[in-house]
Chains A and B, each alone.
Chain A
Amino acid sequence: MGKRIAVSVLDREKGADAGIDPRFGRASGFIILDEDSGEILESLENTNVNAAHGAGTGTASMMSENKVDVAISCRFGPKAFQALKAMGIGIYTAPEGKTVSQVLEMYKKGELEPMEIKQFR
């Protein structure tokens, strides 16, 4: 079995065709896929959307609880970044407007940027 890849999504119902949600901490949901087979392993609602603060840290914890190996979104806040790094979870950014299957392809081809500290917005 390959790595567990989590992608932030706008609408979980659409499965592999779901558009990527540009935010990590307040993403409406996540889809977790098997890197090798592309099979959808989990579809998670993100309850941290409602957090006053610390949506980033709460969502990072959710990744850890679901044994995610790599997290992909368009933007990660500094706290989410720190937490995911400490957890040893890979952090990659993808362009807006892509679907889950497109993002997975890009990841496998090495086309996605691993996130570095300077990229905070």
Chain B
Amino acid sequence: MKVAFASGKGGTGKTLFATNLAYRAAGKGLAAAYVDVDVEAPNGHLFLVPSDTSSTRLSVEVPFLKTETCSGCGECQKFCAYNAIVALRDTVMLFPELCHSCRGCMRVCPEGALAMKKREIGSISRGFRDALAVYTGTLDVGEARAVPLIEGVLESVEHTELVIIDAPPGTSCSAMASVDTADLVVLVTEPTPFGLHDLTLAVEMCRALGKNVSAVINRSDLGDRGVFEYLEREGIETLAAVPFDKSIAEAYAAGKLAYENSSELANALQSVEDWIIKSMPAGKEIAS
């Protein structure tokens, strides 16, 4: 079962919920993995502090000139939708950071002069915090495209009972790629007009993907009723509403898992976990 924690707006508490839920579930005996695909700014590992980590580099394919037979015809340049290849007199100049790996240039070359080679864009690391497997994707600084890395991280997760995906904020292609393979999506929001505005975009994205969605309202006492009313109108189940709690904020600030300090958070996590278990294929039980 794959559960993604997403939001429209940044800073609503996705990582707070995802890390705490994953660690708590693993502690109860569920075979679980936490996967951080906010590859531009991964933070989960700061709270879970995994040990025994190993890391691999992720590559994408980009073209290179394999022969001396370039005629400077420019067909590759004409085809490339991304301006990643520039024709010179008798050779080509490649801008691999612009390449989307479509292989079109290779196909159109009349000399068969282009082939594909690997180019590294980021890292996937795997470690453990007690019983929880922790995966982290980190995009190299300066790299343009996160989606191939996000897909790579998700593919690298070894089969397990519960996968918690910590998605990046927003609704663009990175967020979509993070949520695409999930069975369930939990939207973490805040009850402010900004939160509501961005929540409606996130709901639209989830619906476009046909996802089963629920919501958690964080800092639920700091705002207005807009988000509550919206969720009710849309028939989206609100699993929990967690009021602002300085002890959670302080634990978060210090890089600690907060659920042991806050019964509100622990209860909220239990509600989310109940929803997940309810949605799992029949016959699954876990120790309480």
Residue positions of A touching B, CB distance < 8 A: 48, 51-58, 60-61, 64, 79, 82-83, 86-87
Interface size grouping (class) on chain B = 10 to 19
Which one of B77, B84, B93 contacts A82 once the chains associate, using CB atoms below 8 Å?
Answer: B93
Whether A83 pairs with B84 at a CB distance below 8 angstroms is no
Tell me whether B86 is interfacial, beta carbon within 8 Å.
Answer: yes
- The distance in angstroms between the C-alpha atoms of A57 and B87, with both chains bound, is 10
Whether B83 pairs with A58 at a CB distance below 8 angstroms is yes
- The distance in angstroms between the C-alpha atoms of A26 and B17, with both chains bound, is 43
Chain A hits for B74, CB < 8 A: 61
Q: Measured between C-beta atoms, what is the minimum distance from B89 to chain A in Å?
A: 8
Whether B88 pairs with A64 at a CB distance below 8 angstroms is yes
0/1 string, B83-122, CB within 8 A of A gives 1: 1101110000101001000000000000000000000000
- The distance in angstroms between the C-alpha atoms of A48 and B80, with both chains bound, is 13
Whether A87 pairs with B83 at a CB distance below 8 angstroms is no
Q: Measured between C-beta atoms, what is the minimum distance from B144 to chain A in Å?
A: 7
Residue positions of B touching A, CB distance < 8 A: 74, 77, 82-84, 86-88, 93, 95, 98, 144
Whether A57 pairs with B83 at a CB distance below 8 angstroms is yes
Whether A52 pairs with B82 at a CB distance below 8 angstroms is yes
Whether A55 pairs with B87 at a CB distance below 8 angstroms is no
Whether B83 pairs with A48 at a CB distance below 8 angstroms is yes
Q: Measured between C-beta atoms, what is the minimum distance from B76 to chain A in Å?
A: 11
Chain A hits for B84, CB < 8 A: 54, 57
Chain A hits for B87, CB < 8 A: 61, 64
Chain B hits for A53, CB < 8 A: 82-83, 98, 144
Whether B88 pairs with A86 at a CB distance below 8 angstroms is yes
Closest to B145 in A: A53
Q: Measured between C-beta atoms, what is the minimum distance from B283 to chain A in Å?
A: 48
Q: Measured between C-beta atoms, what is the minimum distance from A60 to chain B in Å?
A: 6
Closest to A58 in B: B83
Given A83-B93, A86-B88: 9 more A-B contacts, CB < 8 Å: A48-B83, A53-B83, A57-B84, A57-B93, A58-B83, A61-B86, A64-B87, A79-B95, A83-B95
Q: Given A48-B83, A51-B83, A52-B82, check contact A57 B88 (CB 8 Å).
A: no
Chain B hits for A54, CB < 8 A: 82-84, 95, 98
